[in-house]
Structure 1
Amino acid sequence: MVGIIITGHSNFATGIVSAVRLVAGEQKNLEVVDFYDTYSTEELRTKLIEALDRLDGCKDIIVFTDIVGGSPFKVSAEIATTSNKNIKIISGTNLGMLLENVMIRDMDTNFDELVETAISTGKQQVLKFEMCRETEEDHEGI
């Protein structure tokens, strides 16, 4: 199974995981690391490494972060470069991409394809709602 770590500023990680659990139920091999304003980046690094250690049985791990360039993203990327595990980092995490990923990660899916699916789904989930106003011409028929 692919392991998942979710990290982000403040309660981003615990918040989005609570929504995942509501929709998809409790998840195995899923770790949450919040980055509070009272933490240093070294404390964040320690917590992320502890989360990785808890995913010891997973050779492939996706780390979902809130924003590119933020401390959770940067520290995760630094850890990934020195780890013996296959770790991919995804930023801009949204609920749609995360839900799809937790639901399909047990399937016989190539790890790189799983990562690309998460990114594609995340992009597809960003939409704008527009109200269409009907005119009388819309009801005139042929």
Structure 2
Amino acid sequence: MKGIIIVTHGKLSEFMLESASMFVTNTEAVLPISFVPGQGVEDLIVSIREALTRFTSGDGVLALVDLPGGSPARAAGTVLSESSELLEVVSGVNLPMLVEVLMLRESMSLPELAEYAVASGNDGIVNVGKVLRGGDS
């Protein structure tokens, strides 16, 4: 099974996983990693490496991070440069992305899942007011 790690500023990762579990009951091999005040990028790198070790028996790990260029993304990028075949990293995590990834992670390869995460994250961003007024999304 592919592991999923959610790496965010603050406890957003924990809350996103809690919310996603309202839609997807199988959250096995999913680990939220929170970047909290007092920690540095090195702490995140250690946590991400530990997650990779924890999920080694699976089919790799998809890291969903919040901001491109932020500390979680930089830490995941550092680990990616060390373990490129075991890890994919996608930034801009949102609830639609997380739910879709959790539902479909066993039906795709790790690179395919990363691409799908990007597409579903983008598709989850809709100007609802414009749609309701009859315009495009």
Q: Establish whether TM, by shorter chain, passes 0.5.
A: yes
Partner of 2:54: 54
Distance (Å, rounded) in 2 between the aligned partners of 1:93 and 1:71: 14
Q: Number of matched residues?
A: 132
Q: 1:32·1:51 contact (CA, 8 Å) conserved in 2?
A: no
Q: CA RMSD in A?
A: 1.6
Where do residues 1-142 of structure 1 align in structure 2 (5 Å cutoff)? 1-83=1-83, 85-107=85-107, 109-130=108-129, 131-132=132-133
Q: 1:61·1:85 contact (CA, 8 Å) conserved in 2?
A: no
The alignment-based identity, stated in percent, is: 25
TM-score, structure 2 length as denominator? Answer: 0.88
TM-score, structure 1 length as denominator? Answer: 0.85
Which structure has the greater CA radius of gyration? 1
Q: 1:59·1:85 contact (CA, 8 Å) conserved in 2?
A: no
The C-alpha deviation readout for 1:56-110, integer Å capped at 9, x for no partner, is 2123211000000000000101011112642110000110011011111122x23
Q: 1:33·1:51 contact (CA, 8 Å) conserved in 2?
A: no
Kindly provide the amino acid, as one letter, of the partner of residue 99 in structure 2.
L
Partner of 1:139: none
Q: CA deviation at 1:17?
A: 0.5
Kindly provide the amino acid, as one letter, of the partner of residue 116 in structure 1.
E
Kindly provide the amino acid, as one letter, of the partner of residue 121 in structure 1.
S
Distance (Å, rounded) in 2 between the aligned partners of 1:71 and 1:57: 27
5+ unaligned residues in a row in structure 1: which ranges? 134-142
Distance (Å, rounded) in 2 between the aligned partners of 1:69 and 1:113: 23
Other structure's SS at 1:22 match: coil
Between 4-13 and 38-47, the greater mean CA deviation after superposition: 38-47
